[in-house]
Amino acid sequence: MPLLQLEGVSKRFGRVVVADEITFQLEEGTSTGVVGPNGAGKTSLFGIISGDTKQDDGSVHFDGRSLGSLTAPARCRLGVGRTYQIPQPFEHMTVFENALLAAQQGAREHGHESYELAYASLERSGLAELANSPAGSLGLLQRKRLELARALATKPRLLLLDEIAGGLTDLEVVELTSVIRELQQDGLTILWIEHVVRALLSTVDRLLCLANGEIVADGEPRQVLASEAVRRVYLGGAIINEPTAI
């Protein structure tokens, strides 16, 4: 049974279609990348899976259970962890308290177990030494790490990473990617939206390309990137038809 299954999921905001009968499934322990131009519906797709956005049509199943009527906290407690494209730390809380909230509420750990889980998620994300710092004082890389730590502290079975490498320097991307690769090797199921394609290619074993709310390509990452559909999405039909013009 797939861990995540989307069947004919559609969502529109007024005239803008952000998801158009999207159907795909993820097996447990796999890592999948999502690419697509701005406005393709990638973040909306994450919102639909995590419960931040309600779909108009279609169904989302997690581990065989329909997520349709479940709120975002309920989905998190089932094992859907997510990060945000723009980091959303709890700025007036410490780094440790940020992770602790996720351990206590998302993973439903109590007492010392919750402390252990929160601290371990900070260690895993490379933030342990900043445990007592106010989250509002963190720089961009550290905020991205905190997003990851908070998601990990919920004990996710499915981790949704939304452009976690965006805005980072090359060195920072390498650091963060190595952390994500470790998580992948530990068997965590990952769905990762990213514009930094080389970060994706070093990690994922499947790639989806979204455009105008539709999946236009799905398969082995390098084959997907080389496909005409993806080139058309990124480069435009005219250029594809006249390659000499490049």
Between 20 and 162, name the residue whose CB sits nearer to another protein: 162
By the 8 A CB rule, do 6 and 25 touch? yes
Can residue 188 be called a binding residue for another protein (CB under 8 A)?
yes
| Smallest separation (angstroms) from another protein to the CB of 128 | 5
| Both structure tokens of 101 | 């909230």
Which residue in 35, 152, 190, 217 binds another protein (CB under 8 A)?
A: 152
Q: Are 45 and 70 contacting, i.e. CB atoms less than 8 angstroms apart?
A: no
Chain positions 86 to 125 lying near another protein, rule: CB under 8 A, are: 88-94, 96-98, 100-102, 104-108, 110, 115-117, 119-121, 123-124
Give 3-state DSSP helix, strand, coil % of the chain, rounded to 5.
40, 25, 35
Stretch that binds another protein, among 4-12, 79-87, 191-199, 200-208 (CB under 8 A): 79-87
**Binder among 76, 141, 176, 190 for another protein (CB under 8 A):** 76
Q: What is the dihedral sign for C-alpha 212, 192, 129, 100?
A: positive
Whole-number Å distance between alpha carbons of 218 and 206: 7
Cα distance between residue 213 and residue 83, in whole Å: 21
For residues 52 and 24, what is the distance between their CA atoms, to the nearest angstrom? 19
Which residue from 150, 168, 194, 213 is in contact with another protein, where contact means CB under 8 A?
150
- Under the rule (CB under 8 A), what is the footprint of another protein? 1, 50-52, 63-65, 71-73, 76-77, 79, 82, 84, 88-94, 96-98, 100-102, 104-108, 110, 115-117, 119-121, 123-124, 126, 128-129, 131-132, 150, 152-157, 169-171, 183, 186-188
